[in-house]
A and B are shown apart, each in its own frame.
Chain A
Amino acid sequence: MSRLNPFAKLPGLNTASVLLVENEEHFQQSLAEALVKETSVTVSVRLAKSFPLPVENDESRPRIDLVVFIINLTSELSFQSAEASLKYLEPGYFLGKVCFMVTNARSSSVPAERLDAVRRLAASLYCPLLFAEDQTQQGVTNAAERLLTILKVAAGFVPFTSSLYLSNLTRSTLPPDIDQPSFD
């Protein structure tokens, strides 16, 4: 079982690479288009549905600086697919190079347990948890901006900061009353 290794390759010059993993393959397209608009660095985006990634691309794939799991809260399959993909990443990624992005959190059809489960997962892995709004252009731009902040740190473009330092500030924590029943 070949895992994705964060430090096995050399980085590209002035390039940051991000891998967007989404089961529905829907939001990742618009997010990618917003990400590549960044001018100060060259952002290279790779899109995948789930792990394991095809072995044929191993040679041509650049060093992935950040892996983003996009979870659509309205679908249980989305969450399960993201969870199952985690074991294909080397542990080195979990030192600030993995991020969870959740869409449709405001939808009323979402059971509260699913959001709690995502929170627990992010907290247990010490990863940041971002909420994104994928229906409007503004929402996509905002999500891309926040991702770019984390991506620039993970790719080493921000001096005196590494992704491990940043993860201390951005990692998701569980609210203390997560086990209490909610009153929605």
Chain B
Amino acid sequence: MNDSSKLLLQRIVRRIPVQMLKATLDKWGRLTVEQRQAIDFTQSKWALTQKLLSFCEENGVTLTQLAELEMIHVIENPNQGMWYTFQLLDPENDAQSLELTQFKQQFKCHLSELLRQVSVKIKKHTDEAVWIRIAWGGSFTKPNHLKPTYVVHHLQTPYFFVRNLTSKLKPLLSQALTLATRHQGVKEANLSGRNLTSIRDLLMRQYQQMFPTKYPSPHDEEDQPVLNQYIEKEQGHVATHRRRMAREVFGDGTLPQLQSAVYKLDTKFKDPSNKTMTEREDTFKCVVKFSSINLLESLRSCASSGIASAPVTPLLSSIPLKGRNYFVVTDNTPGPSSQRH
């Protein structure tokens, strides 16, 4: 095995936690049963790496097969690293009837036309997601498997999620994907997060939502237990109303985990007590960032407890409604707008 394969194997073993290593190796299937049984998973990672190296040399495992091992691990644990979303625009007539083999062939073909030295691996996961692992090379260098880009795309949806892509290679990937999915353009969808399942659920609205009704059912209203018969709230309906509106905007139950929301403000300074700043002609640029372990959950409790005013301001409600967490706010529009949307 050459050096780059050894490096890749070392990296993979280092990245995967020991509890998951056994299952991942079993799924990979490139080691025989005796070899798998011979591995002692309580050893140190270095000892494990040496053992695996010797087994892989015995079996003649290639670089691409090692890449497959890494891919299996990433597919099982997608919620690491930073994922960015892109949206495909202007579908052509046959975009809706695109199927997997055609997509795979077209994508590999287009990408290798653009960049000769590139290694692509495409896998379809059980939940209809197509995972693509790309190792980029230069005009004269072999593909670098230590810094692969991962792309997740659901066929027939206009979105794809990318992890670990440099800005230099972004136009190449965008072009290859746009052509392969039979669209005519691509733009950034302004949604990023650490948790792939969450941003996908948010974008495709796959979380438990609550729809506005004129006649709410008594089950919905009964969430506050009667604390004490001697304590009574005069304006209890205000709190219930607020809670319902928060749940209508942000959804019910467990919400997708977003880590941050960024608002880039490009508006005129407005503070009646500060004359010098208000009199300036040009706009006041600032960036506001909300970050949290679970941003939507915290925003929902802000709205239901009254810290954020109800009805929820469109600045906050756009996060789940439009499925974005990066906004540019200018003076011309009352709510957040993007430069191109």
> Using a CB–CB distance below 8 Å, which chain A residues touch chain B?
19, 24-25, 29, 32-33, 36, 42-49, 53-54, 57, 61
Contacts and interface: CB of A to CB of B under 8 A. Distances in A.
25 contacts: A25-B239, A25-B306, A32-B228, A32-B231, A33-B228, A33-B231, A36-B230, A42-B230, A44-B232, A45-B230, A45-B231, A46-B231, A46-B233, A46-B234, A47-B231, A47-B233, A47-B234, A48-B233, A48-B234, A48-B235, A49-B235, A54-B234, A54-B235, A54-B237, A57-B234
A57 B227 CA distance: 19
Contacts of A45: 230-232
Nearest to B232: A46
Interface in B275-324: 306
A54 B235 CA distance: 7
Interface string B246-281: 000000000000000000000000000000000000
B1 interface: no
Nearest to A25: B306
A53 B234 CA distance: 7
Contacts, number: 41
Contacts of A19: 234
Nearest to B306: A25
Given A36-B230, A44-B230, A46-B232, 12 more contacts: A36-B231, A45-B230, A46-B231, A46-B234, A47-B231, A47-B233, A48-B234, A48-B235, A49-B234, A49-B238, A53-B234, A57-B234
A24 B230 CA distance: 21
A53 B238 CA distance: 12
Contacts of A25: 239, 306
Contacts of B231: 29, 32-33, 36, 45-47
Contacts of B235: 48-49, 53-54
Contacts of A44: 230, 232
B99 to A, nearest CB: 56
A114 to B, nearest CB: 16
Interface string B220-232: 0000000110111
A47 B232 contact: yes
